[in-house]
Amino acid sequence: MSLLRTGRRAGAVLTAVALLGSLAACGDDNTEQTGGSSDTANLTVLAASSLTDAFRTAGAAYEKDHPGTKVTFSFAGSQELAAQVKQGAPADVLVTADTKTMDGLRADTGTATVIARNRLVIAVGAGNPKKIEGLEDLADSRTKVVLAAPEVPVGRYSRQVLADRNITVKPVSDEPNVRAVLSKVELGEADAGIVYKTDAATATDKTDAITIPADQNAIASYPAATLKESQHSTAATAFVKWLSSPQAQQILRGAGFEKP
């Protein structure tokens, strides 16, 4: 009887150990909920408006290659995104259209990596009815020009290239992001607007793009970083790293962005 009791006690101990091991394994499967190592997550990415089309394609590709991860984008002007971060909006990744905005959020982000670059063009109505050939033509008081607001990266770049050429332009409106500038031209509410070349490429049926020579242009850099308040830190880090991968870079090149 003594041997039988001993055997039963040993079996009970082994069963308890196995149960504890099983519970520990279950805990590992859910670690992403508390910032652990699982790649499964619902990621929220705050991204500059000019990335809208490229990132929608990139997001679909990422989800396909990373089952269990869903990527939701919130697009806006970089200054709006910065305000959201400072106000504590729940998000995991931030991608801006300039390094200045990202640098101002160092306390809220991880290390930023530039994933793409862009250049400016002049968007005009289809057929270029005002016969605009370059930046100097935007100074004509008879031409209705629209720019992004000065605090918006594309608005700052636009004013920079105009100031460098001593060109004075009085915009009929200051818009909150580059897509709003393009929309004004598409709708005929403005004769011209300065936008990124990637945005102009999305509206070739309603607008034409006038190239700005390289020596008169500005280069926009797009840094990406994780947010320190992310609830899915590992998955967020993986997504930011993926943005520099050959697959993601091919998508960005296809949309007209330049190499970082």
User: pLDDT per position in the chain (260 positions), as tens?
Assistant: 444 344 444 444 434 434 334 333 333 333 343 333 345 789 999 999 999 999 999 999 999 999 999 999 999 999 999 999 999 999 999 999 999 999 999 999 999 999 999 999 999 999 999 999 999 999 999 999 999 999 999 999 999 999 999 999 999 999 999 999 999 999 999 999 999 999 999 999 999 999 999 999 999 999 999 999 999 999 999 999 999 999 999 999 999 999 99
Nearest to 134 by CA among 151, 115, 121: 121
Q: In whole angstroms, give the CA distance from residue 234 to residue 255.
A: 28
pLDDT at 39: 54
Q: In whole angstroms, give the CA distance from residue 133 to residue 178.
A: 21
CA torsion sign for 114, 120, 124, 128 is negative
Number of residues that make up the chain: 260
134 neighbors 210 (Cβ within 8 angstroms):
yes
Write down the H helix ranges in the chain: 2-29, 52-65, 78-86, 99-103, 153-164, 178-186, 197-200, 233-242, 246-254
Cα→Cα distances 35→28, 32, 46, 71, 231, Å: 11, 5, 19, 17, 5
168: phi then psi, degrees, rounded to nearest 5: -100, 120
- The beta-strand segments (E) located in 39-132 are 41-48, 69-76, 93-95, 113-125
CA-only gyration radius of the chain, Å: 25
pLDDT at 233: 95
163 CB burial (10 A radius; 0-12, 13-18, 19+):
exposed
